[in-house]
Amino acid sequence: MLRVQPSPACNLNCSYCYIPASVRRQTATMSMTVLETLLRRLVHEDLLEDRLTISWHGAEPLIVGRGWYEDACARIATTLGGKVEVAQVFQTNGVLIDAAWCEYFIRSGAQVGVSLDGSEAQNSARVNWAGRPAHHLTLRGIETLNAHAIPWALLAVVTRETMADPQAFIAFVRSTGCAVLGFKVEETNVAHESKLAGFADVERLYAAFVLALWQSFPADGPILVREFEDYRSARQLGNPVQVVPVTLIPFRNLTVAASGDFTIFAGELLFGDDDRFVFGNVMDGPLLDCLDTPRFRAMTAEMLAGARRCAANCEHYADCGSFFISQKYAETGSFDAEETLACRLEIKTMFKALDAI
C-alpha cells in the first residue's frame, strides 16, 4: 500500500483527527516532481509488486482538485505503465463530492471511501473549522455518489455516542446506500486522547455494539462489513492475518506527505509534533537508504520488543500480530508496549464476543 497525501489541508476539523490542526491548516500541494521522483524510486529500488494500491489520503484528498489527479494519473501511467497494475482509492470526508468528481471516479476506476460516523447525533465530532456540523455536507456527497451508482465504502469511527445506540447506527448505515462498512474505535493518537480511555463499561458496550452489527449485517447481505470479513477469515482459514503484520514490515505501508517526507511503517506516525518518525524525503536520495540509519535500528528494535511482549502474553497474538504500533506509541510513548485501547476493543473484545456466539 502506498499512501499519498497530496495536501496536508482539510476543510473539516474533526475532534479526533490524528493529523494535528497545525498541519491541516497548511495549504501546500504535492508537486509533480515529488510524485514522479517517488514513483521512479519505487521502480528503481524494486519496491513494487505486480499490483500497487495508491490510497489518496488525509487530510482531505479532494481539496487539490481533479486537475491534480488528471496530471498525477498521466505521470503514474508514464512511470509505471506496463510494469504494475495500479488501483486508486480515495478516502474522503465527502464534502467536495459533486457530479464532476463522480464522473472522474467512474472514468479512473477509483474506489471511494467516505468517512462518517453515523446519525447526526453520532457524527458530532465531525465539524468544520467554525465548529459547525458537517453531517449534511457529507450526506450531500453521498447522495451524489449514489445518484451515479458508484459503490462506495463507509468508514465510521465508533465513539461513546455510537456505542450508546447501536440501532441508530445500524439504521443510519442501511440508509446511506454504502456497499461496504468499516468501523474503528475512537483511539488515542498523537494529536488526540480518546474519550473512550476513561469510559467505564466500554468493553461491555463495545461487545454489545459489535454483536448488534453482526446480527444486522450477515455475510450474504447487501453491506459487507470489513471487520467481520477479517474475523471470518481468521477463524475459517486458521490465521490469514499475518503474524508479522504490515505495520512491522518496512515499506509495506509507505506513507508520503505533500512535502515528500515519508514514513515506512504506520502512516499515522508521519504527523507527530516533531519529525521523529520521518525516515527521509523522496527528493533526498534512495528510499532504502533509511534502512541503514540509527533511527530505523532504534525503532525496529523497540517495535520488535513490543511484538515479543504481545507474542508472550496475548492470546490474540495470532489474530493481530502486534499490529497497533502507532497506538502503542501514542498511548505509552514507546513501541515496546503491549495492550492499547484500540487493540483491547477491536481485537480482544470483538473476537471474544464473536467467538462466544
- Closest distance between ligand SF4 and the C-beta of residue 196, in Å? 15
> How many angstroms separate the CA atoms of 17 and 188, rounded?
10
In the complex, the smallest distance separating the C-beta of residue 187 from ligand SF4, rounded to whole angstroms, is 12
Work out the burial of residue 252: count CB atoms within 10 Å of its CB; fewer than 13 is exposed, 13-18 middle, 19 or more buried. Answer: middle
Q: Which is nearer to ligand SF4, 12 or 320 (CB)?
A: 320
CB of 170 or CB of 345, closer to ligand SF4:
345
Query: Between residues 257 and 310, which has the closer beta carbon with respect to ligand SF4?
Result: 310
Q: Whose Cβ is closer to ligand SF4: residue 121's or residue 243's?
A: 243
CB of residue 316 vs ligand SF4: minimum separation in angstroms? 4
Q: What is the CA radius of gyration of the chain?
A: 20
Q: Shortest Cβ distance from residue 19 to ligand SF4 (Å)?
A: 23
- Residue 342 host element (H or E): helix 341-343
Q: Are 342 and 324 in contact (CB under 8 A)?
A: yes
Output 160 or 352, the one with its CB closest to ligand SF4: 352
CB of 248: closest distance to ligand SF4 in angstroms?
11
Closest CA to 97 of 7, 226, 11: 11
Q: Give me the least distance between CB of 339 and ligand SF4, in Å please.
A: 4
Sites of contact with ligand SF4 (CB under 6 A): 310, 314, 316-317, 320, 322-324, 338-339, 343, 347-348
Place of cell 529500488: 45
- Measured from the CB atom, the residue of 116 and 354 that comes closer to ligand SF4 is 354
Q: Compute the distance between CA of residue 108 and CA of residue 106 in angstroms, rounded to an integer.
A: 6
- What is the C-alpha to C-alpha distance for residues 190 and 167, in angstroms, rounded to an integer? 31
Cβ nearer to ligand SF4, comparing 93 with 247: 247
93 or 322: CB nearest ligand SF4: 322
* CA-closest candidate to residue 59, choices 32, 21, 96: 21
| CA distances, 350 to each of 38, 113, 167, 185, 204 (Å) | 38, 23, 18, 11, 10
Task: State the nearest-atom distance from the C-beta of 324 to ligand SF4, in Å.
Answer: 5
Residues 6+ apart with CB under 8 A from 31: none
Distance between CA atoms of 1 and 313, rounded to whole angstroms? Answer: 30
Judge whether 222 and 47 are in contact, CB under 8 Å.
Answer: no
As measured in angstroms, the least distance from the Cβ of 317 to ligand SF4 is 4
